[in-house]
Amino acid sequence: MNYHNWVDIDFHDIEDNNNYYALLGVKETATEDEIKTAWIKKLRTCSPNMWNTIANKEEKNRIMDLYFSYKDAYETLINDKKRANFNRFGRVIDVSEIIPGLWLGAFTAAVDHEFLKQHKISHVLSVLETPPTVPDNITHRYMYIVDALHGSLLPLLPEAFEFIETGLKNGTGVLVHCMAGVSRSASVVIGYLMKSEKKSWIEVSQFVRTRRDVISPGMGFELQIKHFEKMNYQITGQTPEHQEYHEKYTISGKFDPVLFWKEKYASSQYKEYI
């Protein structure tokens, strides 16, 4: 059966996939019900249930692409925060401004050169396994951090906080990102604001979540930042927490996050993770 005999598809739609309103055929003032109705209408033209009925491979791929474009548009416009972000930037950028000039986001924000330029971001802090390629005019700092319970964050915090502070003092923007802008980079931003605002983990994490509701800092990162707080945000010092850090959690002067995690959680409800 020829697919076009029974389904009316305009493949020109996919050329406008950066304009989600045009893609779904709704106005920028569209209500939630209007967006849902438009999505259902579009879905009738390219539902996954239809894919196996298409013999032509090229045509099938085009229809699948169209489906995912419609899906992205719907999921963005039906969500108030995602829609506001889309309206602000004119495209989908997974990033949130936490305080004026300090941005928290995903890898995609770091490689969006137009976004960096538009918001005068001069400093990019990358906290993940593989660094992005950023424009030459950007001051870039890369820190290798694995997103795991045993990921090592604490020793990097002084440098990370100083980097953020320098960018903000310059009066320009700072982007802190990992892969998804959920755990590693969120932990760094929370830790920085705890220090600069002299507030607790609970207070700051709740605030950051109001600015970016997808954050979910890892347990190991949370614990390391809380310990760093007790160390007065300094690696060297005379507090019991400094003594504990250097005597229990370092080997040949290097922080061991595995020892740290086991010591802190061995007798707790998180024992099963060890």
According to DSSP, the residues that pair with 140 across neighbouring strands are 124
Among 145, 110, 109, 152, smallest CA distance to 129 is for 145
β-bridge pairing 139-143 and 121-127: parallel
Among 177, 180, 179, smallest CA distance to 163 is for 177
DSSP-derived secondary structure letter, 198: T
The answer to whether the CB of 139 falls within 8 A of the CB of 115 is no
3-state SS track over 20-63: HHHHHCCCCCCCHHHHHHHHHHHHHHHCHHHHHHCCCHHHHHHH
Q: Is 178 a catalytic residue?
A: yes
Report d(CA 82, CA 92) in Å as an integer. 8
Catalytic residue among 153, 168, 178, 231: 178
Which residues form the catalytic set? 178
